Amino acid sequence: MNASTREVLSAARGGHHGYILVAIADPTLRSEAVHAAAATSLEVVQAEDPRDIMRLSSSATAILADALTAPTLAGADRSALSRAGGHTPVVFFMAADPGPINYEAALKCRARQAFILPAESTMLLGALGAVVEQSTQRGARSSPARGGCIAVAGTAGGVGTSTFAVALARTVGEALLVDADPRSGGLDLLLGIESVPGARWPELNFGDGNIDANDLKRALPATSDGIAVLSQARSTVADSFQLKPAVVDGIIKAMHSDPGFIIVDCPVDAIPQDCHHTVLITAAEVRSAAVAQQAVLRLSSSRIPYSLVLRHRQWSGLDREDVEKLVHCPVSAEVPTIKGLMRHVETSGLPTRLPGALTKAAEAVLAEAEGGRAQ
């Protein structure tokens, strides 16, 4: 029995948890990948057999794959790879020097990034280090039900960014929903709570900048199902109030002491750095996808984990595969046009019981979100 086989059997019996799974068939490429992975603080487990890869994937913190093993991961049910706590293993795609990278295979296995080895070994080590650090932070949390901060940003107008932000908040249960778009008409309108008493952005005075999470939530209007909403306000007179990114950042930092989720509805060019995960909503259209591609580059350079949600409008001309090729990022969930939803929103707000397609998309994103709490 070789060393690789012993590692597979040990991990399958529960001997390893939170390891880096090197699922690479090319022996030369595998050796380079193992060398990079070994420089992290996590244990390295190797597997080549598709059955072993499938069995070991769900407990891995990160998975390194190549063109030969990518189809195995592509055929996996994404929800089945999700561990308790809403964590999904991060997949990185490897290609041998001098390349090129098989982006089609990388997209199919939902790789976050792709690297050419050994030329980009240092970059791979940096990416693995970020994943390991996030995993360590999750494990250090005192409560398994602790939430995180998720930003939701749209790459075009009318793609349902605010609707999806509400869907996330409604799916996780009690949450703080932050309206961080200065041009927003108010999330309280979307939720049908515009008449509910409570503070809106212009009415809040943070004084010296110290914000108590509990005091803030008590001051805000809330929905019947427990969503506290920090919304923009509407006025019949000119208002000098301007929502600044620093104020939004202060709210997020203050709310980190709260065990619930923070969902931030924000512009794509003003995504808060303290968010643990970003959801990009893009229309199945060329211009929207082009904006998404630039946003993905910025998020990748900032090492902010992200998910891409594809919104199909009646006039959309692209399909899922087209968008994935344009953005160089796998689509995590798709949202169709939901008949009658806009009329319901206009007359009485977003329904408490969400349409099934919206709930399914929100659940898929939450399963991917780093720092998510156990559902």
pLDDT digits (tens, 9 = 90+) for 103-135: 889 888 888 889 999 999 988 988 888 888 766
Phi-psi region of 233 (alpha: psi -120 to 50; beta: other; left: phi over 0): beta
Q: How confident is the model at residue 182, as a pLDDT?
A: 84
Burial, 338: exposed, middle or buried (Cβ in 10 Å; 0-12, 13-18, 19+)? middle
Instruction: Find the helix or strand (DSSP H, E) in which 21 lies.
Output: strand 19-23
Pick from 329, 343, 338, 342: which is nearest to 361 by CA?
Answer: 338
Residues of the chain with pLDDT under 70: 1-17, 76-87, 134-147, 205-210, 235-240, 370-375
End-to-end distance of the chain based on CA atoms, in angstroms? 40
pLDDT at res. 218: 83
- Predicted pLDDT at 13: 36
Cis peptide before 118 (omega within 30 of 0): yes
Sheet with 331-335: strands ordered across:
227-230, 175-179, 261-265, 149-154, 277-283, 306-311, 331-335
Contact predicate 48/23, CB 8 Å:
yes
Which pLDDT does position 370 carry in this prediction? 58
- 149-368 CATH: 3.40.50.300
* Residue ranges matching CATH 3.40.50.2300 in the chain: 3-140
Which CATH topology does 3-140 take? Rossmann fold (3.40.50)
Looking at residue 137, its pLDDT comes to 54
Which pLDDT value is given to residue 282? 97
Kindly report whether the global pTM for this prediction surpasses the value 0.85.
Answer: no
User: CATH 3.40.50.300 occupies which residues in the chain?
Assistant: 149-368
Distance CA 76, CA 196 (A): 45
Spatial distance between the Cα atoms of 123 and 171, rounded to a whole number of angstroms: 36
In the prediction, which pLDDT does 238 show?
Answer: 61
Q: Are 127 and 39 in contact (CB under 8 A)?
A: no
Are the C-beta atoms of 63 and 89 separated by less than 8 Å?
A: yes
